[in-house]
Amino acid sequence: MLTPRTTLRPLAPCSRWVVPCSAVHVLCAHDVPRTHVQDKEKENSVKTLEEEEVRLLVEHVPAKGSSDDLVTTALRKLIQDAQARRRASLPGVLDKTLQEGICSAVPRVISSSDAQALFSLGLVLMDLAAFSHAAQVLARVAELRPRSAAAEHQRGLALAKSGDFDKALEAYQAAVRKDDKLAISYNNMGVLLAKLAKYDQVCPMFAPCLPHVCPMFVRCSVQSRPCPWLVVRRELSEW
């Protein structure tokens, strides 16, 4: 506390340097382990490289409204490049960068008249877990091939995986109308109906595929006994 009689003595020179704020930041950066910094730099560079590869992969896709020949040629190359990249990637790992790139190209290639190429694109999209885009592409295939049960079945599978069970059921129904021996579509309809708790409709859907899934089916049919496979499926709450 200062008073009128207090005398001020000169302070001794400070023996320490005053460190500017910018230097403090530099010192703090040096405290980070070098390996951590190198890993971050490597991660960023790899991510940038992957984004560049995907951009190069889709940049040849023509603009919306281009000629069918141009779109189809680009579509085939896109599928070939995407499949090659998937084969080179780690199994079971979702390539989000490739997923986003292929999805961005869908509006530009869906006008193609090549049903086989579009079907292959739908399978690529399903492999990339882009189920809504896959359903959109497979719906275009169904338009181009109105007699194809495979296109409707795959569309139903994509819709089911995207969570749209009602539209998936419609697609499966369209598939069995075109091919009444397509057991897998009946089976998938039964599974969806069970998920929707419509158990009274489940057994009739499973019936066409029983010869393929139940080894006792022929014997039970001959002896006019209820199928044990259906009885078990009916009694269990898990379908």
pLDDT at 143: 96
Rg (C-alpha) for the chain, rounded Å, is 32
Euclidean distance between the first and final Cα of the chain, in Å? Answer: 85
Of 3-17, 70-84, 124-138, the poorest mean pLDDT is in 3-17
pLDDT confidence bin for 24, thresholds 50/70/90: very low
pLDDT confidence bin for 224, thresholds 50/70/90: low
Reply yes or no on whether the pLDDT at 6 is more than 70. Answer: no
111-149: pLDDT as tens digits: 999 999 999 999 999 999 999 999 999 999 999 999 999
Reply yes or no on whether the pLDDT at 214 is more than 90. Answer: no
Of 79-88, 162-171, 203-212, the poorest mean pLDDT is in 203-212
Contacts of 69 (CB under 8 A, 6+ apart): none
| pTM score over 0.85 | no
Range among 121-125, 215-219, 221-225 with highest mean pLDDT value: 121-125
Give whole-number Cα distances, 146 to 131, 135, 136, 183, 191, in Å.
Answer: 21, 16, 15, 20, 25
